[in-house]
Amino acid sequence: MLKRLHLKNFTVFADADFEFGPGLNVLVGTNGTGKSHVLKVGYAVAQTVAGAVQRRHAKPDEITSQGLSFFDVVGLSIRLSNIFLAGTQNKLVRNSIIKQDAQVETSLGQTGDTKLAFSIEYSESPSNKMGEASFVMGEEYVAVATTPVFIQAKEILSLMPDIVGISAQNPDVFDSTYTDLATQLTIRAPKEPPMFAKPILDAWAALMRGTILSEDGRFYFQPATGARFRVGLAAEGFRKLGTLAHLLANGSLTKNATLFWDEPETNLNSALLRELAKALAELASQGFQIILATHSMSLLKEFHILSRELDKEKLPIKYFGLNAEPGQPTTVVTRDDFKYLPDVVALEAELDQADDLEEIFARESR
């Protein structure tokens, strides 16, 4: 799991510290506050560490004085470029009067004894120069490091398997989180899904009145009655649920793989959103780490309701409120209850809308 992420002079952050926990970690903020940036840099770090651990098992002597192999350092640099598509890496350094390098410090694992830190050099001209990188591999993390999963706001089931070829020919169309996800989706699911996932998959099949199937890298919707058809003809909400369902069924998403999800609420109706919230809460309760970004009050309400269910164990959940005044860096506030996030614009706008609607109803009923 990703335990800590400290960002200095990175994109919109001057100095921001994220202490993630096991279970659900919810980033809340309006557009432009850096929610997606947090997910992407966290994902890049988790990918790099998983690759370093795997390489260390294969070639234990391939280590630099900082603890990272040459391939790890180069891989991290390429990964940042391909994930952010910023043109050059110096674009990831925050613009400010103080011309300083961007610094990223992370710790991973339950105890946080695995650490990765790196910097990106400030430059007024295009540059892809990274500064010093350091890596300490903790004993606990070595045994469980698994490639993370990143799900974007846009669904890609309808683009499978063509998205891989499109990305290869046009590398600036999709960032590498899309092609990484596409690769994970190509893994065939066994006939019987893992036991922990079966209740979730059965509930979704009943809700959708059908299932999403994979054949030769392409996805289809199989209704409970009738012939199957291309998944692109199915509701987009079904495709989003189908993405998570397939990752659970084929073993790409496990307790040892952090799930990063950008705006999971996109294009989901209220019924599907409620089912998705239940599934994420269930996975969090089973020990999965989920880091997601949202500005949906409906999703936050669902999590709050689920966290207050009396007949279940307390839901492990943390909220991170991201705010930024015009021209100022984004600040972060951490709470265990979203009600206590101060002045989160994304929430205030939705609350104001609800108040306006109530006022209209009251006026029309007079």
The CA distance from 125 to 353, in Å, is: 44
Residues 106 and 84 in one domain: yes
pTM: 0.91
Residues 214 and 116 in one domain: no
Residues 52 and 130 in one domain: yes
Residues 173 and 141 in one domain: no
Chain CA centroid to CA 51, Å: 18
Q: Which domain holds residue 101?
A: 2-148+257-364
Residues 143 and 41 in one domain: yes
Residues 76 and 23 in one domain: yes
Tell me the backbone φ, ψ of residue 134, rounded to 5 degrees: -135, 150
Under a CB-based contact definition with an 8 Å cutoff, are residues 338 and 277 in contact? no
The CA distance from 305 to 273, in Å, is: 13
pLDDT tens track for 215-262: 888 999 999 888 999 999 999 999 999 999 999 999 999 988 999 999
Average pLDDT, rounded, for the chain? 87
Kindly report the CATH number assigned to the domain that includes residue 319.
Answer: 3.40.50
Residues 268 and 286 in one domain: yes
Residues 275 and 131 in one domain: yes
Chain CA centroid to CA 111, Å: 21
pLDDT tens track for 274-309: 999 999 999 999 999 999 999 888 899 899 999 888
pLDDT score recorded for residue 106: 96
Residues 119 and 36 in one domain: yes
Number of domains in the chain: 2
Residues 43 and 144 in one domain: yes
Residues 185 and 290 in one domain: no
pLDDT tens track for 103-157: 999 999 888 888 999 999 988 888 888 888 888 877 665 555 678 999 999 999 9
Under a CB-based contact definition with an 8 Å cutoff, are residues 317 and 22 in contact? no
pLDDT score recorded for residue 11: 94
Residues 35 and 106 in one domain: yes
